[in-house]
Amino acid sequence: MDIKVLGTGCPKCKTLEKLTRDAVEELGINAQITKVEDIMEIMKYNVMKTPALVVDGKVVVKGSIPSYDALKKLLS
């Protein structure tokens, strides 16, 4: 699984990255997690509000931080 956390480094972006890493570890998923902070790279995903989460090329979260349980459900 390829997961990208899109965000410029704000506290919400860092929170989403931590929650994502925790959820992947708890679920035992084999995933590559990448933090994307470059605004031009973020724009390629047609995302105007961060944080955002991209799973296997598909944007699944935009502009908010899902609850931990909702995040685990998205990833499983």
Active-site residue flag, 74 = no
**Given 10, 27, 48, 70, which residue is catalytic?**
10
Q: Is the dihedral of CA 58, 60, 63, 66 positive or negative?
A: negative
Q: Which of 3, 5, 6, 13 is catalytic?
A: 13
* 50 contacts 6 by C-beta, under 8 angstroms: yes
Q: With contact defined as beta carbons under 8 Å apart, do 5 and 41 qualify?
A: no
Would you call 26 a catalytic residue per the annotation?
Answer: no
Query: 63: how many CB neighbours lie within 10 A of its CB?
Result: 11
Residue 30 is given by DSSP the state -
Catalytic residues: 10, 13
